[in-house]
Amino acid sequence: MTTTTVLATRHGSIRPAVEAVVAARELSVANVLAVDGDEDNQYHLPQGLVDQLADCVDRTGAERVVVDGLAHSGQVYDLGHAVPAVELLDRRDLYYEHLADGGNSAAETARELRRQQIEERAARRRQRNEATTGPTGESGSVSELSDACDRLTTSLDSCQQRQRRQVETSYESVDARVAVVGSVGAPTTDCWCALTGERAESTVLRPATPRTAVTDIGPHEVAVTDTAGFVPGRPEWFTAAVPGAIAAVECADLLVVIHSTEAEPALGIDETEFNGTVLQTNPPETDAKRASWENQLVEKVQKALPTTRVALTLPYGAESLLSQLYDEATVESVEYGEHVAVLAAVPAGQSARVQRLVEDAGGTVERE
């Protein structure tokens, strides 16, 4: 059963990513109310838009209002009085809800904390209003809600740490880690599938928690992680709900940044704030160009993965080791003289192992 919804914004138009999440949640949009105006301190939305919203909800019988903006708990409380008998969500609430439905426990906890904070603000407002006709002091309701917020804050912190550890302590034996990122709505999963050979559909804010597959890209064994996408600027309210994705970015040797086909701001990740390599890509313009785009992407990633160039000398009789090098490294040249001289690019994570194998075979290793 779909939920009849009204969208409202003071930014002139609804963000494409918000529209995509609304569509993914199969909400039935009764109307879109958009003006370009200043934020109202009390309602977030300008007063004229609030009046339109109340009238629209009354006419359409909408069950939910989604505000494309960030309203603090006091503004949500006041807007709820101006537009009664309807569920109110702002942009962060919508994102939290969709991530939570995808199994992201951090987003679910962040969403519940937000609900309790709004309830606490409402209780404090009622307490203040009643203080004019009765005794002052903190009510039991306010105290209970405040304690609930404290517990949820602690629970959120624990959940964030758990999701981060799960990413940080996994796939430590691979040659490299690749994280695929983009803004909310960017087809990150298309990139992930192209690199891993897995099959999955690109869907907004999915996967709700990072999804990783180990694959071979050239001589590299690589852990490739798909993420839900990020809000440009990566504000704290959003990153709080995707700690695993943040950890995946921090652990990555290579970031593949895919740009959205929608008119969303650029994600803004570049070499100035990430220690690894950043590779930018655009989605294929047509399905006919998809295969070519996938092949080019794999080639670009292989070239960008960290390698160590080494000059090896092998004794004759070590042909099996030379065959192994062809499988596990990129052999650039082989010359036969007094010894077998090999120039190769070895995955950075395997350079120590290769050196040990060569020296055990009676050869030598020099880094270029």
Identify the band that residue 140 occupies on the pLDDT scale cut at 50, 70 and 90: confident
Distance CA 46, CA 41 (A): 9
Residue 213 has pLDDT above 90, yes or no: yes
Residue 269 has pLDDT above 80, yes or no: no
Lowest mean pLDDT among 23-37, 135-149, 196-210, 327-341: 135-149
Share of the chain above pLDDT 70, in %: 94
Residue 291 has pLDDT above 70, yes or no: yes
Q: Are 197 and 149 in contact (CB under 8 A)?
A: no
Identify the band that residue 340 occupies on the pLDDT scale cut at 50, 70 and 90: very high
pLDDT recorded at residue 128: 83
Distance CA 230, CA 239 (A): 8
pLDDT recorded at residue 1: 65
Residue 263's CB: how many other CB atoms inside 10 A? 9
pLDDT in tens, 167-199: 999 999 999 999 999 999 999 999 999 999 999
Distance CA 245, CA 351 (A): 29
pTM of the model: 0.90
Distance CA 245, CA 252 (A): 11
Q: Are 163 and 247 in contact (CB under 8 A)?
A: yes
pLDDT recorded at residue 335: 96
Residue 352's CB: how many other CB atoms inside 10 A? 12
Residue 131 has pLDDT above 70, yes or no: no
Summarize the confidence of residues 67-71 as an average pLDDT: 97
Using DSSP, state whether 353 is helix, strand or coil. Answer: helix
pLDDT recorded at residue 272: 54
* Two structure tokens written together for 189: 């999963």
* Two structure tokens written together for 197: 């050979």
Give the strands of the sheet with 28-34, arranged side by side.
28-34, 4-9, 64-67, 87-90
Distance CA 218, CA 215 (A): 10
Find the length of the chain: 368
* Two structure tokens written together for 265: 């701001």
pLDDT in tens, 29-54: 999 999 999 999 999 999 999 999 99
* Averaged confidence pLDDT in the chain: 92
Burial 100-131 (b: 16+ CB within 10 A, else e): bebebbbbbbbbbbbbbbbbbbbbbeebeeee
